[in-house]
Amino acid sequence: MISPQLSHINPNPSFPFSNSTFPQSLPTKTLKPHFKPKPTPIVSVLQYNRKPQLSGETPRVVVITSGKGGVGKTTSTANIGLSLARLGFSVVAIDADVGLRNLDLLLGLENRVNYTAFEVINGDCRLDQALVRDKRWSNFELLCISKPRSKLPMGFGGKALIWLVDALKTRSEGCPDFIIIDCPAGIDAGFITAITPANEAVLVVTPDITSLRDADRVTGLLECDGIKDIKMIVNRVRTDLIRGEDMMSVLDVQEMLGLALLGVIPEDSEVIRSTNRGYPLVLNRPPTLAGLAFEQAAWRLVEQDSMKAVMVEEEPKKRGFFSFFGG
Ligand SMILES: Nc1ncnc2c1ncn2[C@@H]1O[C@H](COP(=O)(O)OP(=O)(O)OP(=O)(O)O)[C@@H](O)[C@H]1O
Ligand SMILES: [Mg+2]
């Protein structure tokens, strides 16, 4: 997980912060590596005049996870899922956050969820009755595992989710291109259930030390589960705080976790507004900064691409937020 460059400055080769050495309240400045990485060429520049090339076998089963709660997993699932649908791919989003389901709210589909996956497994309804098709993008469907405020149903585990994914693959409508699973916070039974059918993961982190420690733990668990393809989204980034050295830079985060960077999403009040309206950000016209960042992350997910972080604090006058996008 740790990049090879960091291993020579770190006595603990497994991760910059082992459980014993992890600082409890560390000023972000001390987290900075003592070297400046060599500038690397930009891998790709997004080209909006073409359709992204779908890479890998379908369905791509992607779990959106984090460890720490409240970092933006559900927001990312809704926005990336709808971006993929807008790009023309068929998408099924599964809300696997059993007790605290809210993907339906963010998508504005809460009044249309009549059946859940639990009822499908019990034989009380058919799978297509539990799938809620979005009226805005008909190639996007939502499947909720259970009713809000219910507990993880007895007997509902990883095998049940694998059965559901297999059932989605063999539907008469055809196999979806993407199955995106919104994972609950934490690393208990709900997390294990949510990651079981996935073959790739998107780890959502915020640039703070608690989120990073949880993300590192989750990365280890994902790898133990056989998920090797792990990319990360750095959410709620504020360039003003990074410049003032009050927030870790994206480059720092990337060097600490050593994961491919799928996207960088700025802190944006429009995210909260869109959450409350049940109208995902990527549908807003004119697009917002965070909405564009989610769209670009979706594009990279399709092409199995990643982006390079740059040091915003190096050239404060020249670089703005879009410098994250490798422009
Ligand atoms: N980039 C952002 N800018 C501003 N607010 C954001 C951003 N991303 C997420 N939020 C806000 O953070 C809150 C938590 O987001 P969200 O529900 O997506 O997190 P989560 O990881 O799914 O939480 P949980 O672990 O409880 O499931 C929401 O109110 C959301 O609007
Ligand atoms: Mg959530």
Predicted confidence (pLDDT) per residue in 225-260, tens digit: 999 999 999 999 999 999 898 999 999 999 999 999
275 Cβ closer than 6 Å to some ligand 1 atom: yes
Q: Which residue has the tokens 């056989």?
A: 226
Q: How far is the CA of 69 from the centre of ligand 2 (A)?
A: 7
Q: Please tell me if the CB atom of residue 213 comes closer than 6 angstroms to any atom of ligand 1.
A: no
Q: How remote is the CA of residue 73 from the centroid of ligand 1, in Å?
A: 7
Ligand 2 centre to CA of 100 (Å) is 7
pTM: 0.83
Per-residue pLDDT of the chain in tens (327 residues, 90 and over written 9): 434 333 333 333 333 333 333 334 434 444 444 444 444 444 444 566 778 889 989 999 999 999 899 999 999 999 999 999 999 999 999 999 887 889 999 999 999 999 999 899 989 999 999 999 999 999 999 999 988 766 666 667 899 999 999 999 999 989 999 999 999 999 999 999 999 999 999 999 999 999 999 999 999 999 999 999 999 999 999 999 998 989 999 999 999 999 999 999 999 999 999 999 999 999 988 889 999 999 999 999 999 999 887 665 555 444 455 444 443
**Ligand 1: nearest atom to the Cα of 76:** 18
- Residue ranges and CATH numbers for the domains of the chain are 72-198 (3.40.50.300), 210-327 (3.40.50.300)
> Which is the closest atom of ligand 1 to the Cα of 204?
21
Q: How far is the CA of 291 from the centre of ligand 1 (A)?
A: 14
